[in-house]
Amino acid sequence: MAEHAYDFDLFVIGGGSGGVRAARLAALTGAKVAIAEEYRMGGTCVIRGCVPKKFMVYASAYGKDIRKAAGYGWSAGEVSYDHGTFANAMHAEVDRLSGIYFRNLKNAGVEILEERAEFVDAHTLRLKTSGKEITAEKILIAVGGRPWMPSPDEIPGIEHAITSNEIFHLEALPKHIVIGGGGYIAVEFAHVFAGLGVPTCLVYRGEEVLRGFDADIRTAVHEGLKEAGVRVITGAVFDRIDKCEGEDLPLRISLSNGGHIDADVVMGALGRRPNTDGLGCDAAGVALDDNGAVVVDEWSKTNVDNIWAVGDVTDRVALTPVAIREGHAFAETEFYRRPWHFDHADIPTAVFTQPEVGTVGMTEAQARKEHGAVDIYKTNFRPMKNMLNGDMSRVLMKIIVRQSDERVLGVHMVGDDAAEIIQAIGIAIKMGVTKPDFDRTCALHPSVAEELVTMRTKWVPEETG
Ligand code: NDP
């Protein structure tokens, strides 16, 4: 048998976080690796997700910081914000990062194919533009996901709405933005635009945003949106969107509750779907679930023996670091003879609201359901920094402890730097930390995080008549 009966040992479809990590690691073993990417290297996170989003969060926070600095004696005179200046800087940084991804792949010896690849069969791919067919022994599907929007049949005029893909390319700030949804993307951008001084309205079908998060976190974020000046409309969805040319606010959004709002930008943040349309998974025999996600086992292997999938396309946990770890585990297992698979338990995550959410482990509801008796420790306080700057926002911290052995099952926080704090707490949780471990840890004073190791009183629910 010839050593390279196939053109490549590994063909990776998709140059996002998971695909790039796997391709680069595999190629560093000397394996013959190709990666196909139809747009730009870096995927959702670098090009139209986490990275530019976080820059927008920073841009938005600076305005408030300038105002808040007055309480500390600073006066900045007239301040103004120029969206073009910021957007140019943001796009330049995205370009730089995408270039680094590209160069790292090249330096590792990966062949980069800048076009779309689709399956012909389980070992063959066709490049869409050139029509060239390529064979590979192993194939990794890492094509990610895309924003989901209802069809114009469901919501007439929905074509006037943009998604998070387009939000980074607005030439000027909106005069009035309406955002549909109550998940990560909706609440993050509601804060971004409110912070930039744009009248912002959030329309959510449920009662309280961030379904799936701990109930106390949801309440804090929901109330925080309103405190930030976001108009929050609950129990409603878009019914239709009409465009009236020439108006200052040309889009009229009619809601299911009978109301309407006028805006110049409407954004749908209604969830994301795996990017498998037209990929030819059926030609390769790769099974998809009802949502279009590639079905994989714990090794990220599909039902076809030589095909794997990592990242958002598998619809497991749609977070960049998860895709990277899945891609890393695949590459080490298949190309380094170091088999391991990623453990999806206790993944720390943040929502970059202002202030932000950081969370790791179980919510109170999950913990009660799975472990029965739990103790809750929680605190809600105005941080020292805000005492002089007029910011009324508070910090919420919550620790969920299994009663039987005092194991900490979850830690949740809303407050400045929650992401940074929870990242470190994530290590402790992974090590099986107990509440007595928290208790015997010396506080670092004065800090916000010290409250995590000084909470001693169990929270008791208030009597309800
Ligand atoms: P989410 O799945 O988080 O939220 C979707 C929202 O849209 C929910 O509030 C949902 O309501 C609502 N919704 C869904 N369908 C409809 C409908 N037909 N009509 C009205 N409302 C609807 O999706 P996002 O788009 O916000 O984000 C996608 C994923 O990207 C996240 O889950 C996360 O994994 C990742 N992400 C992570 C970030 C981070 O780490 N900071 C930042 C941004 C994204 P309901 O609650 O009722 O289901």
Q: Has residue 1 got a pLDDT over 50? A: no
What pTM did the predictor assign? 0.96
Residue range 432-451, pLDDT digits in tens: 999 999 999 999 999 999 99
Res 3: pLDDT: 55
Q: How much is the pLDDT for 178?
A: 98
Between the CA of 153 and the centroid of ligand 1 the distance, in Å, is: 21
For the stretch 225-240, pLDDT in tens is 999 999 999 999 999 9
Ligand 1 centroid – CA 247 distance (Å): 31
- Give the distance (Å) from ligand 1 centre to CA of residue 363: 18
Is 191 an active-site residue?
Answer: no
| 43 close to ligand 1 (CB < 6 Angstrom) | no
pLDDT of residue 464: 58
Same fold, 8-147+273-335 and 158-270: yes
The single residue of 123, 341, 344, 445 carrying the catalytic annotation is 445
Q: Does residue 185's CB lie within 6 angstroms of at least one atom of ligand 1?
A: yes
Q: 186 in ligand 1 pocket by Cβ < 6 Å? A: yes
Output the pLDDT for position 59: 98
Tens-digit pLDDT profile for residues 21-55: 999 999 999 999 999 999 999 999 999 999 999 99
Instruction: Check whether 2 has a pLDDT greater than 90.
Output: no
Confidence of residue 461 (pLDDT cuts 50, 70, 90): confident
What is the whole-number distance in angstroms between the Cα of residue 181 and the centre of ligand 1? Answer: 7
Q: Is 222 close to ligand 1, i.e. is its CB under 6 Å away? A: no
Q: Determine if ligand 1 sits within 6 Å of the CB of residue 452.
A: no
CATH superfamily, domain at 349-454: FAD/NAD-linked reductase, C-terminal dimerisation domain (3.30.390.30)
Mean pLDDT, the chain, as a whole number? 97
% of the chain exceeding 90 in pLDDT:
97
Amino acid 422: pLDDT: 98
pLDDT at 263 over 50: yes
**What is the third-level CATH fold of 158-270?**
FAD/NAD(P)-binding domain (3.50.50)
The domain limits of the chain are 8-147+273-335, 158-270, 349-454
Q: What's the rounded mean pLDDT across residues 311-340?
A: 98
Q: What angle do CA 178, 181, 184 make, to 5 degrees?
A: 110
pLDDT, one tens digit per residue, over 78-122 is 899 999 999 999 999 999 999 999 999 999 999 999 999 999 999
pLDDT of residue 164: 97
Q: What is the mean pLDDT of residues 405-409?
A: 98
pLDDT in the model for residue 441 = 98
Query: Is the model's pLDDT at 276 over the cut of 70?
Result: yes
What integer pLDDT is reported at residue 190 of this predicted model? Answer: 98
Summarize the confidence of residues 313-332 as an average pLDDT: 98
pLDDT of 132-177, one tens digit each?
999 999 999 999 999 999 999 999 999 999 999 999 999 999 999 9
Q: Please tell me the CATH code under which domain 8-147+273-335 is placed.
A: 3.50.50.60
CA 447–ligand 1 middle distance (angstroms): 33
Pocket test for ligand 1, best of 266, 272, 313, 356 (most atoms within 8 A of CB): 272
For ligand 1, is residue 411 a contact (CB within 6 Å)?
no
